[in-house]
Chains A and B, each alone.
Chain A
Amino acid sequence: MKRHLLEAADLDRDDATLVLDTAAQIDQALAGREVKKLPTLRGRTVVNLFYEDSTRTRISFELAAKRLSADVINFSAKGSSVSKGESLKDTALTLEAMGSDAVVVRHHMSGAPHRLAHWVRGSVVNAGDGTHEHPTQALLDAYTIRQRLGRLDGVRVTIVGDVLHSRVARSNVGLLHTLGAEVTLVAPPTLLPVGVGSWPAEVGYDLDAVLPKSDVVMMLRVQAERMNASFFPSAREYSRRYGLDAHRMGALPDDAIVMHPGPMNRGMEIAADVADSVRSTIVEQVANGVSVRMAVLYLLLGGSPQ
């Protein structure tokens, strides 16, 4: 493994499989235990550096580090030195001086974790940067698919929605391709980046044509502000053409699953009865997020094995 996890491309197939296998071992080790805690990172310090509000991702990383017995510091941009104008570099040097072993960073600007990695000696884990990547989300998605379907090789994954602005999509395209899955992107053309043709994925505009050939459908969140910028005419039209409702779900193969990275817009990109159906993995994704993040921190920080 590389020292940092900044993007899906930092993981080759062996590394990615190792993360998933390690997460599975952690799940087994903790299954049925009353005290869900391992001593592997005792004495190590993990900083959660969050420039963007993200309760679920921060809590997931926090829980992951705590279950490995690491000391966790939460540093949020609001109400801190950052809101007083401190630069990313100065914040990095401050954390460095305090002796952090890993920095988990969420940032609204693409590439910020790459910059941070230049300024700290410890490991940097990208917890989502702008519209670039969110590699641990892709890992937990891959873990969930493998858990449900028993494999990743040859699995047909369809990612639907705002690919243009989605770090989840970018990381998933990269990681799932690395792991042998076949990825198809479906979106209105306005929400696909110019240059998407160079990605290792098929691209289509017609959701109904792709669903019968999908083992996994991953619905992306559509931000309300996209509507004001003419990416599509209205929420209703988007929902009609690209939303997943019960009728559309019926076109999926029998054992296909429905995923969503959350938070969902019920009634927009995903209907409530789909989100709550047996095909939906949305709650499992959250649980798996903790295990996968434990695996990442464990492998990057090289904690002593149990």
Chain B
Amino acid sequence: MTTYLIKGVRPLGGDAADILVEDGRIAAIGESLSPAGADVVEAGGLVALPGLVDLHTHLREPGREDAETVETGSRAAALGGFTAVHAMANTDPVADTAGVVEQVWRLGQEAGLVDVVPVGAVTVGLKGERLAELGAMADSAARVRVFSDDGHCVADPALMRRALEYVKAFDGVVAQHAEEPRLTTGAQMHEGDRSARLGLTGWPAAAEEAIIARDVLLAEHVGARLHVCHVSTAGSVDILRWAKSRGVQVTAEVTPHHLLLTDACAESYDPVFKVNPPLRTDADVEALRAGLADGTIDAVGTDHAPHAVEDKESEWAQARPGMLGLEQALSVVIETMVEPGRLDWAGVADRMSVRPAAIGRLESHGRPIAVGEPANLLLVDPGHRAVVDPAALASRSRNSPYAGRELPGRVVATFLRGTPTVLDGKAVR
């Protein structure tokens, strides 16, 4: 195994140091290290962070390999600085059995670019009718700990209660897609001034907030862990803050696009901006940034959702919801949180690596940058600004909402257990 000497890097944005990576671990940290035979990575001016962990990725395999595969999604993740991604269960077939989650897990191992951690469906076929074999998925080689019907809400309150209770047996967590379906029939965008004018059916904030409020009460009642996917409204942040103050075991994520974009994007009727939950208002964006800054929102989850061209090049209502996120997630966080001074680098590491790893119970990710720790690292040039070109992305799909937008931050290198997956800003393979 090659030994790497990362020279002059600033761990978590602190003082410059050299990091020696050997046998998959951080072997030494110090000034002017000069071990024999190490490959040198010049990292002056770069910031080192623990490899990012995504709680919310759609890799589309099996079923929609034309939009993304485990391999192409893994490459996109590595280029974004990730060393672990949770692969959502809404594949075809649905990841609701040990067989499917093991298949996804094995494809991830074969790609070898990030740790692909399968998410198991909560209910059979994501239908919200009866529990999938959660224990079998937990006991499988994929060791599933996060369960989600993402794309669909576990709307039945009794079923949600049972799911929350049941996964306690193996320290699992239910990641809820909070959307009261009776309030979002035909919904196309955030319900407010803009939906009124555009004549697109509204998705009211209350449809998300009502489910979060219900679920934090259920989680409290049964003493279970709840994770809330893609929180998008100011009201949701308030409810989460209240629940945490009561000691409820609830965690939450926000997507990069909800931190940056608003429902004004819908005025183009370009479905690249159609996503579920929808882009919200300026006030919501501000509340989400504040919630992420004060820790009410624990994590950034990309909700990376690749779609084939024909599923987006259409009428708004015809298009499928979702947008790419893995390759620009860190850039968006730098733009919205670091540059305005709302989160320091330790904060970025916490929200994008430490806490998501803890939520997913991943032991070798989200670790400190310290001697003896697994060498899951990324090096980022925070000052580098570039215009996003969808054609240059590693994802098989092109539905980036950031196309044409200039964003800061370039991931120069990513190391997975001491092996580079990205060097000089390019995927190693």
**What residues make up the interface of A, taking CB atoms closer than 8 Å to B?**
87-89, 107, 109-112, 114-115, 129-133, 167, 170, 193-199
Closest 10 pairs (CB-CB, A-B): A132-B199, A111-B269, A195-B196, A193-B196, A131-B199, A195-B193, A110-B199, A198-B193, A109-B315, A109-B317
**What residues make up the interface of B, taking CB atoms closer than 8 Å to A?**
188, 191-202, 204, 268-270, 310, 313-318
Residue pairs across A and B with Cβ atoms less than 8 A apart, 21 shown, are A89-B313, A109-B316, A110-B199, A110-B269, A110-B316, A111-B198, A111-B199, A111-B269, A114-B269, A115-B315, A130-B317, A131-B201, A132-B198, A167-B199, A170-B199, A194-B191, A195-B191, A195-B195, A195-B196, A197-B193, A198-B193
Q: Are B314 and A115 in contact (CB under 8 A)?
A: yes
Chain A residues whose C-beta falls within 8 Å of the C-beta of B199 in the assembled complex: 110-111, 129-133, 167, 170
Measured between alpha carbons, how far is A132 from B316 in the docked complex, in Å? 12
Q: Are A195 and B318 in contact (CB under 8 A)?
A: no
Measured between alpha carbons, how far is A115 from B316 in the docked complex, in Å? 9
**DSSP majority for the B interface?**
loop
Chain A residues whose C-beta falls within 8 Å of the C-beta of B313 in the assembled complex: 87, 89
CB < 8 Å neighbour of A170 from B192, B193, B194, B197: B197
Q: Are A87 and B314 in contact (CB under 8 A)?
A: yes
Measured between alpha carbons, how far is A135 from B192 in the docked complex, in Å? 22
Q: In the complex, how many angstroms separate the beta carbon of A203 from the nearest chain B beta carbon?
A: 11
CB < 8 Å neighbour of B314 from A88, A114, A130: A88
Q: Are A110 and B317 in contact (CB under 8 A)?
A: yes
Name the residue on A nearest B268 (C-beta): A114
Q: In the complex, how many angstroms separate the beta carbon of A298 from the nearest chain B beta carbon?
A: 27
Chain B residues whose C-beta falls within 8 Å of the C-beta of A131 in the assembled complex: 199-201
Chain B residues whose C-beta falls within 8 Å of the C-beta of A129 in the assembled complex: 199
Chain B residues whose C-beta falls within 8 Å of the C-beta of A114 in the assembled complex: 268-269
Chain A residues whose C-beta falls within 8 Å of the C-beta of B193 in the assembled complex: 195, 197-198
Chain B residues whose C-beta falls within 8 Å of the C-beta of A111 in the assembled complex: 198-200, 269, 315-317
Q: Are A194 and B192 in contact (CB under 8 A)?
A: yes
Chain A residues whose C-beta falls within 8 Å of the C-beta of B202 in the assembled complex: 193-195
Q: Are B196 and A196 in contact (CB under 8 A)?
A: yes
Measured between alpha carbons, how far is A134 from B201 in the docked complex, in Å? 17
Name the residue on A nearest B191 (C-beta): A194
Q: Are B315 and A194 in contact (CB under 8 A)?
A: no
Name the residue on B nearest A87 (C-beta): B314
Q: A89-B313, A109-B318, A194-B204 are in contact. Are A199 and B269 (CB under 8 A)?
A: no
Chain B residues whose C-beta falls within 8 Å of the C-beta of A87 in the assembled complex: 310, 313-314
Name the residue on A nearest B271 (C-beta): A115
Measured between alpha carbons, how far is A194 from B148 in the docked complex, in Å? 31
Q: Are B316 and A195 in contact (CB under 8 A)?
A: no
Q: In the complex, how many angstroms separate the beta carbon of B253 from the nearest chain A beta carbon?
A: 27
Chain B residues whose C-beta falls within 8 Å of the C-beta of A115 in the assembled complex: 269-270, 314-316
Q: In the complex, how many angstroms separate the beta carbon of B60 from the nearest chain A beta carbon?
A: 21
Measured between alpha carbons, how far is A119 from B358 in the docked complex, in Å? 48
Q: In the complex, how many angstroms separate the beta carbon of B206 from the nearest chain A beta carbon?
A: 10
Most buried by A among B197, B201, B204: B197
